[in-house]
């Protein structure tokens, strides 16, 4: 039985008798969960439902939630230790929450290229939980891609080639003092902080075994991956470019349309995401919490 078919059968079974429903948004990635109030502590069966849906679908979505900052923190803490973001401005009085904002007069947005959060850390983030405070009337959607599906649809020959390869990831070129942001080449300056902390690189397998599900996933991304370890950037370019293009295949991607009160909870080890910047002249404000992870192998 395929992984997708197993996920479908499991989700159908999980709906019975709980008041919770799960609706897949695409064959490869994404599901919407209804019937759970995230503002209060989760019952055991609710947390299990979320954990299993996240494992099956990579990203789960909730609608019509009302969360104070403290409730957002309480929800996230049920899934692991919160990772304090060192580059984004935080919500006043709540350092656990990163403010992801684009004002109506600003042009550049956060996360406008395909990426996975914190791949530049030695222990990359387990998950990210994004809560919509203020959204455009139209636009500002987020795309998600499945790194599971991307790996599973490679040829056996390429899978064999990738085994044992490791890739170098970095924050320097995105958040560091010499990045376009801090050189004033876009208007993210003031929204992205602490360039002096963007000094670290990390090395991870190109193909990881997910620490929770045991499934294999591609773990490179266009925003933070620099090169294959032991290869030059030029030598790495062709292989990485192929993997990036492959992962963006239409059948591996879903699109989420935000509304005020929507929540997305994604697994950074098995998905990429990209925030569309198609809402010029409108404000978009989100609160994000990142849940810490473990070293990958």
Q: Which sequence positions are flagged as catalytic? A: 115, 117, 273, 288
Cα distances from 211 to residues 60, 119, 292, 293, 297, in angstroms, run 18, 15, 13, 9, 8
> Strand, coil or helix: what is 45?
helix
Cα(109)–Cα(238) distance, rounded to whole angstroms?
A: 28
**Residue written as tokens 């990359």?**
124
Token output for 106: 């600003």
Contact 209, 219 (CB under 8 A): no
Q: Phi/psi at 50 (nearest 5 deg)?
A: -65, -45
Cα distances from 162 to residues 165, 212, 230, in angstroms, run 5, 21, 14
Cα distances from 49 to residues 21, 45, 267, 290, in angstroms, run 10, 6, 15, 20
What length does the chain have?
297
Q: How many CA atoms lie within 13 A of 113 on its CB side?
A: 8
């Amino acid at each position: 039985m395929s992984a997708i078919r197993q996920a479908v059968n499991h989700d159908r079974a999980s709906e019975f008798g709980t008041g919770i429903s799960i609706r897949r948004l695409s064959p490869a990635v994404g599901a919407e969960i209804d019937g759970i109030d995230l503002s209060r502590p989760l019952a055991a069966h609710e947390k299990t439902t979320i954990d299993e849906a996240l494992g099956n679908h990579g990203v789960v979505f909730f609608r019509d939630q009302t969360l104070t900052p403290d409730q957002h923190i309480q929800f996230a803490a049920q899934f692991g230790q919160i990772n304090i973001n060192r580059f984004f401005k935080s919500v006043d009085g709540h350092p656990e929450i990163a403010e992801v904002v684009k004002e109506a007069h600003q042009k550049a947005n956060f996360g406008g290229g395909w990426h996975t959060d914190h791949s530049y850390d030695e222990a990359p983030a387990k998950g990210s939980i994004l809560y919509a405070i203020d959204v455009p009337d139209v636009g500002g959607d987020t795309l998600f891609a499945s790194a599971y599906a991307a790996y599973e649809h490679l040829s056996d020959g390429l899978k064999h080639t990738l085994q044992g390869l490791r890739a170098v990831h970095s924050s320097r070129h995105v958040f560091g003092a010499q990045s376009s942001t801090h050189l004033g080449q876009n208007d993210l300056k003031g929204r992205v902080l602490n360039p002096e902390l963007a000094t670290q690189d990390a090395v991870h397998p190109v193909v990881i075994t997910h620490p929770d599900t045991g499934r294999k996933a591609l773990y490179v991304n266009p925003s933070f991956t620099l090169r294959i370890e032991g290869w030059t950037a030029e030598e790495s370019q062709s292989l990485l470019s192929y993997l990036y293009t492959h992962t963006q295949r239409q059948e591996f991607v879903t699109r989420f349309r935000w509304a005020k009160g929507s929540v997305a909870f994604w697994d950074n080890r098995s998905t990429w995401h990209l925030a569309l910047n198609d809402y010029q002249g409108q404000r978009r404000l989100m609160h994000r919490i990142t849940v810490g992870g473990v070293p990958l192998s």
